[in-house]
């Protein structure tokens, strides 16, 4: 896995990491401010009102396969070790348009030989929301997986799940050591998003900053292209 390094070369970039949460989307910028929106365009509109963005990093699949699996997902599982179950297989595009989980599963089995998880199907609207928005975004949009971000930040995969106290404390310490010392007050974002969503958005922002500086690495090293206008890779 040789690194595919970004070449923006932006000095002092302003970036944001975004994560889906139960009530919408949470964003954390690299100046450690929190933002919340019911949809992706809403949260970004608030952020952009305060200044331009150089990179958006988002924890959602970008680049949907027609059949089979993505290299990005399998490589991410290797990187996170014991946290591999946190990386779900990206559904094929046709399955995300199915009106029920049963129909989506049938389509997935026909296309890939495997079903589609309830978690992946439940995220279908947000996946397709980002799929459409990323085509017209005015800044680079990259896909991240927070557990991959944390593994790279930490130098090795994390042992504890983010839902546990040990996992929360470890991730917050890792972020602080990496220059992302999250404040106690994140406004509406901190009130509406769960603690793990805040951590994940901050980890995404860390990768966005690396991408803007030209030091981020993509998995796979050459992003895949499924003919949908997106490059499919997970960055860290």
pLDDT at 12: 75
Residue 174: give the domain boundaries: 15-88+126-235
pLDDT at 8: 54
Residue 55 included in any domain: yes
Is the model more confident about 227 or about 9?
227
Q: What mean pLDDT comes out for the span 200-216?
A: 97
How many Å is the Cα radius of gyration of the chain?
17
Residue 143 included in any domain: yes
pLDDT at 103: 97
| Cβ partners under 8 Å of residue 17, min gap 6 | 27, 28, 29, 57, 58, 59, 144, 200, 201, 202, 203, 204, 205, 206, 207, 208
How many domains would you assign to the chain? 1
Q: Which tokens belong to 68?
A: 């089979």
Q: How many CB atoms are closer than 10 A to CB 183?
A: 10
Reduce the DSSP state of residue 64 to 3 states and report it.
coil
- pLDDT tens string 137-178: 999 999 999 999 999 999 999 999 999 999 999 999 999 999
**Residue 130 reports pLDDT greater than 90:** yes
Residue 118 included in any domain: no
Query: Which H or E run includes 196?
Result: helix 195-213
Residue 67 included in any domain: yes
Residue 49 included in any domain: yes
Strand arrangement, sheet containing 15-21:
34-37, 24-29, 15-21, 55-59, 141-144, 231-235, 218-225
Q: Which tokens belong to 136?
A: 């017209």
CATH number assigned to the domain comprising residue 193: 3.30.420
């Amino acid at each position: 896995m040789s690194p595919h390094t970004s070449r923006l070369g932006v000095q002092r970039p302003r970036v944001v990491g975004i994560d889906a949460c139960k009530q919408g989307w949470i964003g954390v910028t690299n100046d450690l401010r929190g933002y919340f929106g019911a949809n992706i365009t809403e949260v970004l509109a608030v952020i952009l009102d305060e200044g331009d963005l150089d990179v958006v990093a988002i924890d959602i699949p970008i680049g949907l396969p027609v059949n089979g699996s993505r290299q990005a997902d399998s490589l991410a599982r290797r990187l996170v070790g014991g946290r591999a179950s946190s990386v779900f297989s990206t559904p094929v595009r046709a399955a995300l348009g199915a009106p029920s989980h049963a129909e989506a599963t049938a389509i997935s089995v026909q296309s890939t030989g495997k079903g589609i998880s309830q978690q992946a199907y439940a995220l279908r609207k947000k996946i397709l929301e980002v799929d459409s928005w990323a085509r017209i975004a005015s800044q680079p949009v990259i896909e991240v997986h927070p557990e991959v971000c944390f593994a790279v930040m930490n130098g090795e995969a994390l042992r504890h799940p983010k839902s546990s106290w040990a996992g929360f404390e470890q991730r917050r310490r890792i972020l602080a050591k990496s220059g992302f010392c999250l404040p106690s007050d994140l406004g509406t974002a901190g009130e509406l998003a769960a603690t793990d969503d805040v951590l994940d958005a901050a980890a995404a922002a860390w990768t966005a900053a690396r991408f803007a500086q030209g030091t981020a690495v993509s998995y796979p090293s050459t992003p895949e292209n499924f003919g949908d206008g997106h490059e499919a890779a997970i960055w860290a």
